[in-house]
Structure 1
Amino acid sequence: MSSQEVVFISGATGFIAQHIIKLLIEAGYKTIGSVRSEEKGEDLKSLLKSGGLKSELFSYVVVKDIGAKGAFDEALKTHPNITVFLHAASPVTFEVADIEKDLLNPAVEGTINALNAIKEYGKNVKRVVVTSSYAAVAGFADLATPGKEVNEDSWNPITREQALTNPFLGYIGSKKLAEKALWKYVEDNKPQWEITVVNPVFVFGPQAFEVKDKSKLNASNEVINSILTAGKKKEEPQQYASYFIDVRDVAKAHVLAFEKKEAAGQRLIVSEGPFTSGEIYDIIVEDFPKLKSEIPRLDKSKGPKFEDSESIVNNEKTRKILGFKFIDLRKSVDDTVAQLQ
């Protein structure tokens, strides 16, 4: 199958995307990634090469702004042989001046632009996979439903008006609005391709390649990193209680999402299980005893209680479709910390 398929992936230098590309190349897929500059494209190519991967299977196209109208038109016109389109470009940011202009509109428009380009120019595209978020599935903050079950059919009840309240809710709202727009697009346009949406929770785990700049980790891994750097920064890390998944499992889910027939038309909630910052702290001091003296003791009594804020995730349907066992919290934390050390 892989020799015939040509896979396009947007946001190729992203945390999740690099792991996806690694898996694609290992499986022999010809892969084309969108990057923001030629420099980033060349850098990724050299990372693949130094990682012992067949870098000749990877090429890139420069797309400076994935949210711009027609952003992917040229890429699809130039590569009419693309058969799978993975839209994995999904930035996480809470630092915005205008929630509507900087978060809500770009999220919706970026998704619709990609779908329009595929419909118009992706003549050979058969499968589309889009990275969404657990934020589109469950309610948060005042909309949280502690103890209530959520599954692949659930939606965060947030409205556009509520999303405009603050940047955090703006981010949460942008994920729901973009995904709702996507499913409506599919319903209205009935394209030739089939779509799958991947909804990850907090994504932990090591970077796909060696980390040169440890100051710029993905937002989820900062939950782990903030505990490691608390001593040096002389500040108490913010504590969390939520759900986690390892990045390597998220990448695997994206590949299986287009390879498996039963994944077509589905939402996949990729979550291994609950975590608290206290549990992460315990794993670090138990498995990395040398770090114990560098890390200030975490006052777990100050941390949020899982049962006070979190819905109960039932992702049995996703697990059945994917058919593999997810990496547990200990391995995910250990591998992340080992790389950062």
Structure 2
Amino acid sequence: MINQTVVVTGGTGFVGIHTILQLLQKGYTVNTTLRSLSKKDSLITALKEAGIDDFSALAFFEADLTSDTGWNEAVAGADFVLHVASPFPAQDPKEENDLLIPARDGALRVLKAARKAGVKRVVLTSSFAAVGYSANRKNRIFTEEDWTDATAPIPPYIKSKTVAEKAAWEYIRTEGGDMELTVINPVGIFGPVLGGITSASLDMAVSGILNGTIRESPDFTMGVVDVRDVAAIHITAMTHPDAGGERFIAASDGVMSFYDVAELFKKERPQWAEHIADMQPTPAEFYIQIANQKARTVLGWHPRSKEAALLASADSLQKN
């Protein structure tokens, strides 16, 4: 056992469950927060599916991003906090503040509790949404130096990730003391499903294409990253001496359109291609470029290919 305790917020989320799995496999003690302890059994089921049979190093705490209750207890005695939890709506809310305020205040709530507990470093899961949505997306390579313009007419989720991350950096600058912050900015997260726990990206792009509900490839391309690599980069960033105060884009090489995903499945998994629609290719002008060199060089992070991540999603969905 490693004599260190890590808090993972949102333990029943897609990234949360894989992060807890890897931490337990490495010998850490893990505290995880759930909006309701009634969700505890689904997390245990997922971990059992992944081969965990000893839960003595895992503790559960009820805490919600919209309330102060439970956070001090969850982080007491912790060495690190991985703040993975964040609201992701099934559809845009009528009022954007219904999403912005929980995302921003939730991040600040976790940071304040972590500082009070003497936590060394918090790793915050932000998103490429906070990086790559500016007025001009064409003919540029997005890096960690880029920020989405929160004043632009953008969807509430994208705005919420930008506002929450900026608020976190401002808190660290003004009130963080000796506590360090590292931010991970993943693109669309795919990979194997555990215990039926999926991601919004996976549900839309993989399930939707395989079952034929997605019939067209929009003028849009997405970065892809495997959830196992997202979990790994959080854990590496947690202790790496050069990660404090830095942002890291988590992305495999290249981007894909829905057409590309459909063609990948037709070629590599023809047995499941019955319902996949014949789409028109997305025009080349919509292919953006996303740099992942910083994570590779600073953290020694080597993600799986985008194709491997998507096929792992498809395989696990069909298995389950």
* Fold in common (TM above 0.5): yes
1:179 to 165, 171, 174: 165
Q: TM-score, normalised by structure 2?
A: 0.91
**Contact 2:217–2:280 under 8 Å retained in 1:** no
Pair 50,133 (structure 1): closer, same or farther in 2 beyond 3 Å: closer
Partner of 1:126: 120
Corresponding letter in the other structure for 1:307 = E
1:333 and 2:315 correspond: no
- 1:101-250 maps to which residues of 2 (within 5 A)? 102-120=98-116, 122-123=117-118, 125-140=119-134, 143-159=135-151, 162=152, 169-207=155-193, 209-211=194-196, 217-221=198-202, 222-230=204-212, 233=213, 236=215, 239=218, 240-250=220-230
Between the aligned partners of 1:84 and 1:48, the Cα distance in structure 2 is 21
Q: What does residue 280 of structure 2 align with? A: 300
Query: Who is 2:36 aligned against?
Result: 37
* 1:23-62 deviation line (CA, Å, top 9, x unaligned): 0000000101001222211331243234321322211111
Whether contact under 8 Å (1:138, 1:144) holds in the other structure is no
Contact 2:42 2:195 in 1 (8 A): no
Letter paired with 1:135: A
Question: Which ranges of structure 1 fall in alignment gaps of 5 or more residues?
Answer: none
Q: In structure 2, the residue corresponding to 1:300 is in which secondary structure?
A: coil
Offset of residue 151 of structure 1? 1.2
Which residue pairs with 1:56 in the alignment?
56
Aligned residues: 313
Please give the per-residue CA displacement for 1:230-281, whole angstroms capped at 9, x wherever unaligned.
Answer: 1xx5x62554412111111111010001121111111010111211112211
The one-letter amino acid paired with 2:215 is E
Give the letter aligned to residue 277 of structure 1: F
Distance 2:39 2:6 in 1: 19
Change (3 A) 1:337 1:193: same
Displacement, 1:199?
Answer: 0.2
Q: Which residue of 2 aligns with 1:12?
A: 11
Task: State how far apart, in whole Å, the 1-side matches of 2:302 and 2:28 are.
Answer: 24
Alpha-carbon distance change, 328 to 83 in structure 1, aligned in 2, over 3 angstroms:
same
Q: Which amino acid aligns with 2:240?
A: K
Runs of 4+ in 1 over 3 A off after TM superposition: 237-240
CA contact (8 A) 1:276 1:306 kept: no
User: Counterpart in 2 of 1:27?
Assistant: 26
Inter-CA distance 245–151: structure 2 relative to 1 (3 Å threshold): same
Percent of paired sites with the same residue: 30
User: Structure 1 71/307 Cα, relative in aligned 2: closer, same or farther at 3 Å?
Assistant: farther
**Structure 2 equivalent of residue 289 of structure 1:** 270
**Post-superposition CA distance 1:163-187 (Å, at most 9, x none):** xx5xx62111111111111111111
SS in 1 for 2:208: helix
Distance (whole Å) between structure 1 residues aligned to residue 290 and residue 276 of structure 2: 32
- The 2-side partners of 1:40 and 1:267 are apart by 31
Distance 1:285 1:335, change over 3 A: same
